[in-house]
Amino acid sequence: MKKIIYIAISALLLGSCNEKSFLEETPRDFMSSKNSYSTSADFDLAVNELYYLTRYEFYCNGERSVMDYLFGTDFVWNGSSGSSVPNLAANYGPSAAIPQAHWDKLYLLIAQSNTIISRLPKSSVPESEQVLFNAKAKFFRGLAYRTLAYLYGGVPLQLEEVLGPKTNYVRATREQTIAQAVEDVKFAAENLKDITAVKDGEVSAPAAYHLLSELYLAQDKAQEAVDAATKVISNPALGLMTQRFGSRATEQPGDVYWDLYRTGNQNRSTYGNREGIFVIQMQVDVLGGGTDITSIWSSPGSYLLERHCAPQTSLFKMYKNGVSLTQSPFNWPTGDYTGGRGIGSIIPTTHFDKEVWASDFKTDIRNANHNFVRKFAYNNPAFKTLYKELGDTLDIDNPPAGYTFLTGENSQTTFPGRYLTCYQTKVTNPYDHPKALYSNAATYALSGSSGGTYTDQYMFRLAETYLLRAEAYLKQSKTDLAAADINVVRARANASKVSASAVTLDYILDERIRELGVEEKRRLTLGRLGADVFYNRVIKYNPYYSLGTPFTKNFTLYAIPQSAIDANKDAVLDQNPGYL
């Protein structure tokens, strides 16, 4: 009897409720997709993921973050290939690792941004805070679409969270993709906080206006580009650093340009750097910090600019009368001006090494030996003792007579080769690597786990904003105003003034090389300017790409990854021209 009554009561209770809601789980003591985007704290964590993904794509994804944004351009080439020739069809083709890696990472950044934007209206976050979270998410989504447009041309636009499989994407045009980026970044610029109200490394209104100026240039909207850049340049909290500052301000040799790249000098809160607009934070040996001295290959890995841009001096050899010297001139890896633990993958072209400096070769501080090394001090005491007649340094522009060299792979004997190439010291930390990396602190000998660049990195810097505005003025044929902006940058560098009549797009692109060098994601700059400018600059200044697969205009864009095309079974995802 008791059993019958129990069953009857249970049936009554079940009959009086919604069966669907009865079976639905409501998470109360664990995180799920339903309760993870509710409070301001939840969205703070979600935005942190956007910073992480941005740092991963542009700085911490191994050689993808270094080589891919510099190779195939007008001012560096692949030193680790020896005399082999580039196979651009294979490197940039539909099944290659390069286009796949950037496509995946940038769409992951878009997906995370979309989740934030889509979840905010249903959250408990106050409306006033929702605007700020929206601005942050749209900044990063705009950054991702801008990058995709420059790398691939038009791409599919997805502006809402995807909750299930979607297999019918179609490509927007390049113009539509950039327009979406403009819309996102404009909203961010109008709603983010000023740079004085954010933490180091946090996006701000000036960061968005800087990016917006660049995007307007991509749309040929010169006045809008001028206006956006002016909002940054006229901000009283920003200014070029013109006096020595920071952690090594009294050190010689050195200057204010050198100071910009020394450890701890990039942020406002440490040494009052007013030039950094958006600074990527690289915290050494902090969980999720982007730099791990125990392994440069951690995920995310260290920024490998030192590894790829500095020479591998351990393999450099000198010969006299055809006989190898008994001692190597250089110990390696050593944290001095020989470049840490470089392997010389990235070598400056003659245009970068010599031509862009022209008459200011000896006066422009950006080209001083402590900023752009061409004279290498011998750091092996035994070598200096045995070969005193060679002095203290090897000048690769004026090598000692009577000697021959092994400078690179396949018995390369001329400079630069990857075993001894000129390089910018912004890629490394001379005499200031993390202490735990020194195997011998007295001689600055480094351990085998070194090779990263252990400093915060400029994503946007005010000197570039001046050059963006100069480019916009040039579009308006206001060469006097363009020259004035360029000369602000050149005056800080102790370089001669450029006249209005000498300002051309090529001149501005050369000034970007002088000021930014390997700091710049050069492929994005050339991609923004379009296939004609991109192609002509590469053909004119980079002889490496006249070898192997000829550099044709189709290589100014990556292929759409074949995996994306194959997965998109319900619509056609068109491939870029020139790729099979």
Question: Helices 97-119 and 63-70, interaxial angle, to 10°?
Answer: 110
Same structural domain for residues 428 and 311? yes
| Residues 159 and 65 reside in one and the same domain | yes
Instruction: Please say whether the dihedral angle defined by the alpha carbons of residues 339, 341, 347 and 348, taken in this order, is positive or negative.
Output: negative
Give the model's pLDDT for residue 147: 99
Which residues, other chains included, contact 489 with Cβ-Cβ below 8 Å and sequence gap of 6+? 240, 463, 466, 467, 511, 515
Domain assignment of residue 254, yes or no: no
| pLDDT-above-90 percentage for the chain | 85
Residue with more model confidence, 295 or 511 = 511
Is there a domain that residue 134 lies in?
Answer: yes
pLDDT at 315: 96
User: Is 1 inside any structural domain?
Assistant: no
Whether 426 and 328 share a structural domain? yes
Of the candidates 331, 258, 340, the one whose C-alpha atom is nearest the C-alpha of residue 296 is 340
* Span 395-404, pLDDT tens digits: 999 999 999 9
Contact between residue 141 and residue 151 where contact means Cβ atoms under 8 Å apart: no
Each residue's pLDDT tens digit, 280-292: 999 887 877 778 7
Q: Give the number of other CB atoms < 10 A from CB of residue 480.
A: 12
Decide which of 417, 452, 487 is a domain's last residue.
452
Same domain, 436 and 567: no
The two counts, helices (H) then strands (E), for the chain are: 21, 15
Separation CA 577–CA 557 (nearest Å)? 9
- Pick the last residue of a domain from 400, 426, 452: 452
CA atoms of 393 and 237, how far apart (whole Å):
43
279 phi and psi, to 5 degrees? Answer: -115, 120
Residues 312 and 408 in one domain: yes
Report the C-alpha dihedral over residues 298, 54, 32, 192, rounded to 10 degrees: 150
Residue 13 has pLDDT above 50, yes or no: no
Angle at 564 between CA 558 and CA 569, to 5 degrees: 140
Residue 494 tokens, joined: 């102790």
| Integer Cα distance of 192 and 110 in angstroms | 19
pLDDT in tens, 190-235: 999 999 999 999 999 999 999 999 999 999 999 999 999 999 999 9
The answer for residues whose C-beta is within 8 angstroms of residue 557's C-beta and 6 or more apart is 151, 152, 153, 527, 531, 576
Closest residue by Cα to residue 427 from 490, 361, 337, 560: 337
In this structure, which amino acid lies at residue 527?
G
Residue 6 has pLDDT above 80, yes or no: no
In a domain, residue 5? The reply is no
* Neighbouring residues of 491: CB distance < 8 A, sequence distance ≥ 6: 497
Q: Is the peptide bond before 399 cis (omega within 30 degrees of 0)?
A: no
pLDDT at 2: 37
Same domain, 340 and 445: yes
List CB contacts of 458: < 8 A, sequence separation 6 or more.
260, 266, 276, 277, 278, 279, 280, 519
How high is the pLDDT of residue 288? 74
How many domains is the chain partitioned into structurally?
Answer: 2
- Residue span of the structural domain in which 108 resides: 39-191+529-580
pTM, full prediction: 0.93
Neighbours of 170 (CB within 10 A): 12
**438/536 same-domain check:** no
Q: How far apart are CA 487 and CA 490, in angstroms?
A: 5
Claim to verify: residue 44 and residue 176 sit in the same structural domain? yes
Query: For residue 179, is it within any domain?
Result: yes
Cα dist from 245 to 256, 259, 260, 263, whole Å: 7, 6, 8, 12
Asked if residue 577 belongs to a domain, the reply is yes
| 196 conformational bin, left if phi > 0, alpha if psi -120 to 50, beta if neither | alpha
Residue tagged 């190898």 (tokens): 324
Residue 293: band (very low, low, confident or very high) from pLDDT cuts 50, 70, 90: confident
Q: In the listed set 434, 452, 470, which residue is the last one of a domain according to the structure?
A: 452
In degrees, rounded to 5, the angle at the alpha carbon of residue 513 between the alpha carbons of residues 510 and 519 is: 160
Is residue 572 in a domain?
yes
Q: Is the pLDDT of residue 1 over 50?
A: no
Strands 290-291 and 283-284: parallel
Q: Around 60, how many Cα atoms within 13 Å sit in the side-chain half-sphere?
A: 26
| Chain segment 249-289, per-residue pLDDT in tens | 999 999 999 999 999 999 999 999 999 999 999 988 787 77
Rounded Cα gap, residues 437 and 126, in angstroms: 47
Q: Is the pLDDT of residue 515 over 80?
A: yes
Q: What's the CA gap between 330 and 378, in Å, rounded?
A: 6
400-425 mean pLDDT:
94
Q: Is 223 a domain residue?
A: no
Residue 124, domain CATH: 1.25.40.390
pLDDT of 410:
87
Residues 444 and 534 in one domain: no
For position 426, what pLDDT does the model report? 98
- Report the DSSP beta bridge partners of residue 424: 372
Give the number of C-alpha atoms closer than 13 A to the C-alpha of residue 337, restricted to the C-beta side: 19
State mean pLDDT over 430-455.
94
**CB-based burial label for 19 (10 Å; 0-12, 13-18, 19+):** exposed
Average pLDDT over residues 406-421: 93
Q: Per residue, what are the HEC states of 102-160?
A: HHHHHHHHHHHHHHHHHHHHHCCCCHHHHHHHHHHHHHHHHHHHHHHHHHHCCCCCCCC
Range of lowest pLDDT (10-19, 173-182, 398-407): 10-19
49/187 same-domain check: yes
Per-residue pLDDT of 108-147, as tens digits, reads: 999 999 999 999 999 999 999 999 999 999 999 999 999 9
Q: How confident is the prediction for the chain on average, in pLDDT?
A: 92
> In whole angstroms, what is the distance from residue 326 CA to residue 513 CA?
39
Confidence class for position 81, pLDDT limits 50, 70, 90? low
Query: What is the model's pLDDT at position 8?
Result: 31
Is residue 400 located within the same domain as residue 534? no
The amino acid at 57? E
Give pLDDT, residue 462.
99
pLDDT at 5 over 50: no
Q: Are residues 416 and 535 in the same domain?
A: no
Is 60 exceeded by the pLDDT of residue 448?
yes
Least confident range from 79-88, 138-147, 507-516, 568-577: namely 79-88
CA-based end-to-end distance of the chain: 78
CA dist 213 to 191, 220, 472, Å? Answer: 16, 11, 9
> Phi, psi at residue 368, to the nearest 5°?
-60, 155
Q: Is the pLDDT of residue 549 over 80?
A: no
DSSP state of 400: P
pLDDT of residue 28: 53
Whether 324 shows a pLDDT value over 80: the answer reads yes
Helix axes 127-152, 174-191, angle to 10 degrees: 150
38 Cβ contact list (under 8 Å, min separation 6)? 123, 124, 125
Residues whose CB falls within 8 Å of the CB of residue 499, separated by 6 or more in sequence, listed in order: 483
